[in-house]
Structure 1
Amino acid sequence: MSTQSGSTAVSPPDRSATDAAESDPAGGTAAPAYAPAALGLGVLALGWLAAMLWIGQAEITSSDINSIVIAMAALALPGLISASMVGGAAAAVVVANLLTRRGVHRSTPRFAASVGAGLLVGLLAALTVTLSYGNGDSITVLAGTVAAAATVGGIAGGVRAVPVVGAVVAAGLTVFVINTVLNIFKDPLLSLYGYGDTDQSQTSALEWFSRTGSIGGGLVAGLLVFFYLGLARRRTIALDPDASLPRWPAYLLAGAGPGLLLLAAELLTQTAGARLLAAAGSLSDVDRGLQDQLSEYRSNQALWVLFVGALTALIAFGRTLRPATAEPEDETDAEFSDDEEFTDEVAGSVGGDGPDAAEGGRPEGGRPDSADDDEIGWDEGGTDRRPADRRPEPDTARS
């Protein structure tokens, strides 16, 4: 920069902004983070959806009686909706990672592609239901609800926080697996919880069985979310050390994600599948009571998984935080950094080590440090009260 008169100072260009513009070919939009193991999660989620479709087909087509088909379709509906939502979200995460690799960082095309991926999964699932489950209004409602659930999952996967969605997909699959394993060992667990002949013992055992699956699923989901986002955090730092990292709201939302997914699935079950549930409940009072009991069970499970998973993920993240330590300030360097500020007055106060300490052991114009220098003539304020003939002659050379 020139220092001559009349010259204009021109500041250098902002290198950080220039580097950001050069590293981002998408018009200034920052690149979203990658979701670790997205392809593996997509394969597992679609495999789980295919397994649920196969189980539902086997149960529904096992009887030719229309009433039994309706009842079995109503029982299979919540599981198919949950699996379809997870499958749609997983497909959206895979597409989002692919778009990030291709340099597509704008929100609009990414959201459209994610919704399209979820819709494609839903259409394939609905086509499977229509072709293999048979005919009837109940099957048509089931197919449409499955397609809607997968599309909702694709919409959820269209957000820019791709690692959070990937964590929710992984945790949701884990909750499904835990519930399946517990159902396999249902009878031993009910016996452990005191399942007997009385209604009170049976109700208590069923409640404890439900809480075991909900609390256990929430704990495992919260820990899995913590480790998944930690993996995404390390990968983000390796790719870009200056990138923004997920903070505690991301862990809280991801931990609550499986519970929110179950709540959304129950909402779709009660709205999009309302016609099928009403048809199943109209068969008998027993069927109506069973549908109400299952709906209450699913809602309670979703709430337990939501709160337990959110708290577990948040506590696990909080244990990684460390208190900020302020650097100690060097008071000596701050006080005596400049020799010019080390005045005679300060030198006298610290023991007479100043430049005038060699003359009589006292600073110029001040009270002597020791009473041996003069026994009289000084008051408590430091004023020289001696007669003029007893005062030392001033040092003219120094002045």
Structure 2
Amino acid sequence: MSNQPGSSTAESIDRSPEQPAGRTGYAPGTPVLAVLALGWLAAMLWSTREAIHSAAVGLTAITLSAFALPGVISAALVAGAAVALAASELTARRLGDRAALRFAAAIGAGMLVGLGTALAINLTYADNATTNTIAGTSAAAAIIGGALAGARTPAPVGAVVTATLGTLLFVVLFSQARDPLFDLFGAGDSQASLVGAAKWVSRTESLLGGLVAGLLAFGYLTWARRRAVRHAPDATAPRWPAYLLAGAGPGLLLLLTEVIIRIGGRTLLDLAGALSEADAVAQTSMGTSRIDNGIWVLFVGALTTVVLFGRTLGPAPRDDDPEDPAGD
């Protein structure tokens, strides 16, 4: 029996025929993740609706819709992935761990989340072109999230969903500390000081967000490995590429969110940017900031999980008697 890095002897169990190649353990807690992700999506939809309806009709509503679009799309993407992961795991337990069944269940669940999101937006938001753009783009994001969750590596997918939810929540909580940090980083009356302070606040948020993502991804994979060994001894322990992917996953989803926004929400963004020169600059600046944030979260999260995984590795086995390779 060969030793697996990062796991004890009891966890280093050879793969049996019932444990197909490519499946990295099991994803625990998927129903809870699905409920939390749907709750987050509902909160984003509600807050966006309240912001738009409280604004004056016309130009202000368009601007607020464009600003709120990234939050709704990221929530729909994560919700689609979380519900699809729960559906695919249930399918794998009930009908067998077959790739086609898992993917079909994931796609179906993602489509249901997308359809429900689009209906909720169309039924509760004002009926206009802006609403249709938000609804269609959110539905597409949920379906894409469902497709991503159909992979035969459920534990890393669960880690990505957990870490992304934690990162999105951290961003909301961090907003309460923005004003004190602006003062800390020297924001004054001049435009240059405000721009400089804003850059440092944004970098601090991205750095801490990546750290949160990495810690949550590592914690989830560690939990998944222990549960797999306890309930399914034939499951293989995740190796370092799984930790790397899980840590980088939240950043990748944030960047994917930006791609979906740029494609599906292009009409809304162009409409908001055409209102005035200041609105155009604001939309460009926020888009650039979102991309920078995604890149920071990606690399910091990946580095965090890999470093934490490396600390779990034991010393390499040594040959106490190199002159006698037969071990006599």
Q: TM-score, normalised by structure 2?
A: 0.91
Letter in 2 for 1:324: A
Cross-structure match for 1:160: 152
- Tell me if structure 2 keeps the 8 A contact 1:29–1:106: no
Cross-structure match for 2:50: 58
| Residues 1:183 and 1:333: Cα distance change in structure 2 (over 3 Å) | closer
Cross-structure match for 2:92: 100
Q: Work out whether 1:247 is the aligned partner of 2:236.
A: no
Letter in 1 for 2:131: I
**Displacement, 1:111?**
0.3
Partner of 2:44, secondary structure, is helix
**Deviations for 1:171-225, whole angstroms, at most 9, x for unmatched residues?**
1011111110111222112111111101111011111110111000101111111
Cross-structure match for 1:181: 173
Gaps of 5+ in 1: 1-15, 338-399
Q: Distance in 2 between matches of 1:150 and 1:30?
A: 25
**Displacement, 1:241?**
3.0
- Tell me if structure 2 keeps the 8 A contact 1:88–1:151: yes
| Residues 1:32 and 1:245: Cα distance change in structure 2 (over 3 Å) | closer
Cross-structure match for 1:49: 41
Q: Distance in 2 between matches of 1:333 and 1:179?
A: 57
Q: TM-score, normalised by structure 1?
A: 0.75
Q: Work out whether 1:298 is the aligned partner of 2:290.
A: yes
Cross-structure match for 2:60: 68
Partner of 1:160, secondary structure, is coil
Structure number with the bigger relative contact order (C-alpha 8 A, sep ≥ 6) is: 2
Q: Distance in 2 between matches of 1:325 and 1:298?
A: 45
**Displacement, 1:239?**
2.6
Q: Distance in 2 between matches of 1:250 and 1:333?
A: 34
- Tell me if structure 1 keeps the 8 A contact 2:133–2:268: yes
Q: Work out whether 1:172 is the aligned partner of 2:158.
A: no
**Deviations for 1:336-381, whole angstroms, at most 9, x for unmatched residues?**
x8xxxxxxxxxxxxxxxxxxxxxxxxxxxxxxxxxxxxxxxxxxxx
Cross-structure match for 2:182: 190
Letter in 2 for 1:178: F
Aligned-residue RMSD, C-alpha? 2.2
Cross-structure match for 1:139: 131
**Displacement, 1:31?**
7.0
- Tell me if structure 2 keeps the 8 A contact 1:226–1:251: yes
- Tell me if structure 2 keeps the 8 A contact 1:31–1:100: no
| Residues 1:267 and 1:333: Cα distance change in structure 2 (over 3 Å) | closer
| Higher Cα Rg, which structure | 1
Partner of 1:319, secondary structure, is helix
Q: Distance in 1 between matches of 2:235 and 2:76?
A: 33
**Displacement, 1:332?**
8.7
**Displacement, 1:32?**
6.5
| Residues 1:333 and 1:323: Cα distance change in structure 2 (over 3 Å) | closer
58-67 or 288-297: which moved more? 58-67
Paired residues, number: 315
